[in-house]
Structure 1
Amino acid sequence: MRHLKFTVMAIGLTAVPAFAGMPVPVKMKCAVGGEAFTHITTASYTIFGRRPDGKPFGSWHFPLDIPVCPGNGLVMFQEEFSADEVKTLKVLISSPEYRAMRDRDTSYYKAAWLMRSLGRSPIDVAWKVVQASWQADGDIPLKQRYQAEYAAAITALPRDDQSIDWMLMQARAGNAYRELERFDEAKAVLDGLPLASLDVPVPAQSRNAAGEVENGKAIEDAENRRGILRYVKDVRDLADRRNASSQPVRMASPRLAAELCVNGKDRLDADDKAYCESDAMKAVIARFTLPPR
């Protein structure tokens, strides 16, 4: 499940920035019924950072659009399906439950419902609902329903202290409870994580005679663990402060934090407004010298 890794990486043809985020039409064929249609996606994109809920900032919109068959509304959440899956999907998309979701829910939520119905991994299903919550940014009740659903699903997963993916998803659940203003539940989830297993040193590179790094996976694992540890501590601190913002100033990059403080201050909560008035943030704002809009 590499899509769950904490580290922020450039994706695609980032060696050629001019092409990042260019729309690309893709000819598609619906898995159920065979309808031909065109799906617009991108050949490459770059990620510059992430919100606490995992939504990236980058050269494209996120989450990436999933192909949806125009006629029957099937969300093509994977490229190919087995013959048995196609038969099951045909029944699922004709069901009253799915028909009710077609106009009410986002494509990623419908994908999660189909995945769950096909017996996909609960953690993969939960991740789809996380992404569905990004799609619902402009609809607060819908977003909150998705957040509550995935937080409950994630915290119900079997405990796996050895899995980085499990720990990151638990931390995402804690953040969801924070954004829902369920601060005690957020802290309980975060405090239940095995933080000692995340507080590991990053090993120095070890190279062989050819100069190749031999312990790259160990370095990546340690960096991921330390990244999750920082994330957990930051979200825990926000929960203590009763800050429910989806983009808290304290967890933003310096440039974005300055932008939020100068041009988005009216939309900030009390904790973020107070932080914008701190000497530390005033220094950041001065460094970027952003004029008020």
Structure 2
Amino acid sequence: MRVLIVLLACLTASAHATRPFQAQITCPVGGEQFTANLIGSSHYFSRGLDLRPIGGGPAPWPLPQCLTNGLVLYKDKFSERELEKLQVLVPSADYQALRVPHTQYYLAAWLQRHLDESPALIASTLLQATWQANAQQYSSYALAALEQYKLVLRQAELSPKARLRDSLVAGELERRLARYDDAQTRFSKLKQELPPDAPELLVIDLQLKLIAERNSAPHAIPAQKKPSSATPGAAQPLRDGVAPVQPTPPPGLAG
């Protein structure tokens, strides 16, 4: 299946109402019980070039976060080894200092780094942190995400489909950061490598046009007819480390 099919899975879907729900959660660090307001499902009209869902609900979906210590629960269960680390990390001055100036997904990425999660998962989380970022946060978040995607792209075992997908995201981050020369080099190379009928060329040609205009503003993925095999509105889990797109709730938390 073409990479663009993954990027455009939601593009022609009708918008469905966002389904919020509440979940009773026990914080794995400290044992605090709290009620989290979460999203059970949501469909979108389209996605941005950075894969941010457009229309239909919040993006990214909120994650459960312990009220007192601020632990962001980016997955439903931590291993015993991870819990031992979290007992030290969460109350630390470093983590607590991040709570006010930074978003949930940035905090989640910080935790993921310290828990030795996969580079792909950290890249995905940082990308979604850019969706939450305000004007002051965006550049630092996008730069952190870009560096993580570069790390992922250096992995020899990365599949061709994943390499193309992550290269498109990295190029988008470079353009948004006004690193136009880097972005142009990346997209020009991708264009040379792809066959002339590759659907990803829709994205690449738009990117090259925006780069020539020195345009660093967000833009939507160009519309394309949905292949019959695509599932409208399909969303991938945050923690799967594969598709850096809108997450589903952790198992056991869906209403």
TM-score range, shorter chain: 0.7 to 0.9
Q: Which amino acid aligns with 2:219?
A: Q
1:166–1:124 Cα change, 3 Å: farther
Query: C-alpha distance in 1, partners of 2:64/2:191?
Result: 38
Residues 89-133 of structure 1 deviation map (CA, whole Å, 9 limit, x = unaligned): 111112222111111111001101111111111111011111001
Is the deviation greater in 162-171 or in 22-31?
Answer: 162-171
1:133 paired to 2:130? yes
Change in Cα spacing, 1:67 to 1:228, as seen in structure 2 (3 Å) is farther
Separation in structure 1 between the aligned mates of residue 192 and residue 41 of structure 2, nearest angstrom: 35
State the Cα deviation string for residues 112-170 of structure 1 (Å, max 9, x = none): 1111111111111011111001101xx21211111111112212331557332232122
Match of 2:106 in 1: 109
Distance 2:180 2:174 in 1: 6
Superposed displacement of residue 232, structure 1: 2.4
What's 1:25 paired with?
22
Question: Partner residue of 1:207?
Answer: none
Q: Is the 8 A contact 1:5 1:165 kept in 2?
A: no
2:10 — aligned with what? Answer: 9
Q: Does structure 2 retain, via aligned residues, the 8 Å contact 1:66–1:75? A: yes
Hey, what's the Cα distance between the residues in 1 that align with 2:122 and 2:106?
9
CA RMSD of aligned residues (A): 2.7
For 1:40, the equivalent position in structure 2 comes to 37
Q: How many residues align?
A: 218
User: In structure 2, how many angstroms separate the alpha carbons of the residues matched to 1:91 and 1:200?
Assistant: 53
Separation in 1 of the partners of 2:160 and 2:192? 12
AA in 2 matched with 1:50: R
1:8 touches 1:48 (CA, 8 Å); kept in 2?
Answer: no
Asked whether the 8 Å contact 1:168–1:228 carries over to 2, the reply is no
Match of 1:233 in 2: 205
Partners of 1:16 and 1:186 lie apart in 2 by: 32
Query: What is the rounded CA distance, in whole Å, between the counterparts of 2:24 and 2:98 in structure 1?
Result: 25
Sequence identity (%):
29
Alignment of 1:1-293 (within 5 A): 5-9=6-10, 17=16, 20-136=17-133, 139-157=134-152, 158-159=154-155, 162-193=159-190, 196=193, 198-199=194-195, 226-247=198-219
Which has the greater radius of gyration? 1
Assess, with a 3 A threshold, how the Cα gap between structure 1 residues 227 and 77 changes in structure 2: closer, same or farther.
farther
Unmatched runs of 5 consecutive residues or more in structure 2:
225-255
TM-score when normalising by structure 1: 0.67
Matched with 1:209 is: none
Structure 1: distance between partners of 2:117 and 2:199: 28
Question: Would you tell me which structure has more helix in proportion to its own residues?
Answer: 1
Separation of aligned partners in 2, 1:121 and 1:227: 29
Contact 1:30 1:36 in 2 (8 A): yes
